[in-house]
Structure 1
Amino acid sequence: MQTRRDFLKLSALFTATAAMPLLQACQQRAAAQANAPLTIGYLPILDAAPLLVAHGKGLFQKNNIETVKPILFRSWASLVEAFLSGQVNVIHVLSPMSVWMRYGSRAPVRALMWNHTCGSALTVRPDINQITDLQGQTIAIPFWYSIHNVVVQQLLRQAGLQIVEKNPQLGQVRLTVMPPSDMVAALAAKQIAGFIVAEPFNALAEAKGVGKILRFSGDIWREHACCLTMMHDHDINTRPDWVQGVIDALVQAAAFAKHHRVETAELLAKQGINKYTPHDVAVLRNVLQPEPVQWAKYERNGAIRHADWQQKRIDFQPFPFQSYSELLIKLLKETHLAGVNTFLQDVQPEIASKELFDTRFVEKSLQQHDLMKQFGLSSLQRVEQFKI
């Protein structure tokens, strides 16, 4: 029942009343230590790559940022609680979760950049060959407020399937929240028919022979963001030079991860010096730099249907496009979300997309060292492509 407790805990944290004591504790910490060192909180998934690469490659020090070793958390609930209370001052969160945090709990926090693009997939049992095979079955998601839930519900509805939370019948698919670390074992035990989650758990299921990729999320929503980097408003407002140094380091780290994929896998793996994650280097390498023969197989079996998009299994690009945030909020309003979500009724996509992000710092970072070109950016605007 850990999952149920975590969801209830997060549901409480993302209300203004329950979040208030944590935010007060955060204010007290900020007053007592105005120049606190950078303290990163993260989950052991590839969404955290820029945060960990920046630490592992000494990029924070190069940008004159004092830091401690990043702190690993095992659940979104514990990570968010630590952030709201000020125990950590930089985290990565699921992009829809940032909407809930800002407008549900009224937390004075902002997202500053994207951590990565794509990097998620719908993984199913080997006997599942098409979306309609999932009717009457259960699919695990990492959280209701996740890009994974948004994408998979669009995929299921397109196939004429209804979303339920319990007892799925023909024509229905049950969605259940499950920690990513439990998903591969649950799939192997046939407790679920599949899961949609961040890497490297999809690659791990493939490596263990218990699952296969049915669709990549980035093949449905082109170059979508998954996790964002968030900070407290008090840091943004009172020490902008410090924030700029942190973002400079993270943008440089994202560029490193994009162009040095094998070394990034080695740095993040359990075999690495810092042991940032419990994942084997071979599994991480299969995500960051899959073999061409494997990629061609995905194209043949339909896991990739838009080969002309020429995407990576996971990629890195830090600028948060406003068009993405607008579409995300519009899709959230169409998505089944357990718990109290009435706050979404008053969230206007065009306004919220500007309120959620402070893009000043990442824009400045991208102007340095020809980084726009390194990320393949010719403009800071784009048109979203969502195609099943």
Structure 2
Amino acid sequence: MADKVDFKVAHLKITDHLILGITQDKLKKGVEDFKYLNLRCKPMMSWQLVASAIMSGSVDAAFILAPTAMDLYHSGLKAKLVLFSHKSGSVLIKNKSANIETIDDFKGKVVLIPYQLSVHNMLLHKLCSESGIEPGAGKDVLLEVMAPGQMIEALQFDEEGEIAGFIVAEPIASQSVAMGYGEEFSLSKDIWPEHPCCVLMVRDEMLEKHPDAVHEFTESLVKSGKFIGKSPTTAARIGAEFLNQKPEVIKRVLTEPADRITTANLLPVLEDLGTIQDYMHDKMGIMQEKIDIEKFVNLQFAQAAKAT
């Protein structure tokens, strides 16, 4: 057998990427053993760093925001979307210092988003637009891009209540509640049920030269996703270590409610990706050109892994 390939994967320390943490834990404990790859997890501090890593080739794959993946593909990145990493899982948090009661109270204030080309931005736009509120520069609600890991501190030092809140992945949302700085305003699943958000994107070179490694990795991730749903308490303990969080925070994310975030059905849904692209291009105007979703997605590995 040929030597195992080093498979470098960029990710953030968020629950959206917990399937990676479960797979890493299985390898560490000897529950699984990869024949074709050595998994090298590369945690990053921001979405910009994740995007730069896969664009430059310093990693072979990335857990990345679906709209960002589309944009990188449009920009010429030779890579494909291989798997969804979760569904739902984000929260619009209101700042306890900002006296927010209704969506109208967001007017004139700042909402923090993790990245412009994110489903978070889309969901906030959808929620606001349905109430006749326009988010954006010079409009009703100002937007500021901030790395997820910095958002709680931003609320902590916002004594004047200028920040209405933020929309972000778990466990940052639940952590802000536990620390007393934020309160839940809306779960993302209640804005768009079972929406995609983060995806696994793999560079073409890896797909073409090492398909066995990609299959092995994808199959493990699919199993990890199903494990989280069946064993949330154990998954929370593993997740606490992977995400450097308290187990009770991760368990809350995985169980209250049970569909706050789901990982059992990770087969990419092309129609949902089309919905994201159409909304961000047609209604928000932040996607310059549309891509061919069918060429952007490689379903081969998810289907072989029996993803549903």
Normalising by structure 2, report the TM-score. 0.90
2:152 counterpart of 1:184 = yes
Distance apart, 1:108 and its partner CA:
0.4
Three-state SS of the structure 1 residue aligned to 2:305 is: helix
Q: CA deviation at 1:125?
A: 2.1
- CA–CA distance in 1 between the matches of 2:24 and 2:167? 28
> 2:298 — aligned with what?
358
Q: What residue ranges of structure 2 are gaps of 5+ in the alignment?
A: none
Counterpart AA for 1:173: V
Which SS does the other structure have where 1:121 is aligned?
strand
**Alpha-carbon distance in structure 2 between the residues aligned to 1:141 and 1:364:** 35
**Other-structure match for 1:315:** 262
Mapping 1:1-388, distance limit 5 Å: 36-58=5-27, 61-103=32-74, 105-126=75-96, 127-165=99-137, 172-190=140-158, 191-269=162-240, 272=241, 276-290=242-256, 295=257, 312-316=259-263, 317-336=265-284, 341-342=287-288, 344=289, 347=290, 352-366=292-306, 372=308
Higher relative contact order (CA 8 A, sep 6+): 2
How many residues in Structure 1 have an aligned counterpart in Structure 2? 299
Give the whole-Å Cα distance in 1 for the aligned partners of 2:269 and 2:196. 9
For residues 255-314 of structure 1, the C-alpha deviation after alignment (integer angstroms, 9 at most, x for no partner) is 111211111111121xx3xxx222222211110122xxxx5xxxxxxxxxxxxxxx6111
State the shift of 1:34 in Å.
9.7
Matched to 2:207, the amino acid is: I
**Alpha-carbon distance, 1:224 to partner:** 0.6
The answer to whether the 8 A contact 1:199-1:287 is kept is: yes
Distance 2:32 2:203 in 1: 21
- In 1, are the aligned partners of 2:26 and 2:32 still within 8 Å (CA)? no
Name the SS for the 1:57 alignment partner.
helix
* Aligned-partner SS, 2:37: coil
Q: Distance in 2 between matches of 1:142 and 1:81?
A: 15
The 3 A distance-change label for structure 1 pair 252 and 262 is same
Greater C-alpha Rg: 1
Shift of 1:151: 0.7
* RMSD of equivalent CA atoms: 2.1
Provide TM-score, normalisation by structure 1.
Answer: 0.73
Cα distance change on mapping 1:134 and 1:34 into 2, 3 Å: farther
Tell whether the 8 Å contact from 1:139 to 1:174 is kept in structure 2 after alignment. yes
Q: How far off its partner does 1:61 sit?
A: 4.5
**Aligned partner letter, 1:41:** A
Deviation, structure 1 residue 206? 1.0
CA distance in 1, matches of 2:24, 2:35: 12
CA contact (8 A) 1:150 1:332 kept: yes
Which amino acid is 1:217 matched to? S
Deviations 1:12-60 (A, max 9, x none): xxxxxxxxxxxxxxxxxxxxx9963122221111111111211111289
Counterparts of 2:302 and 2:245, CA distance in 1: 30
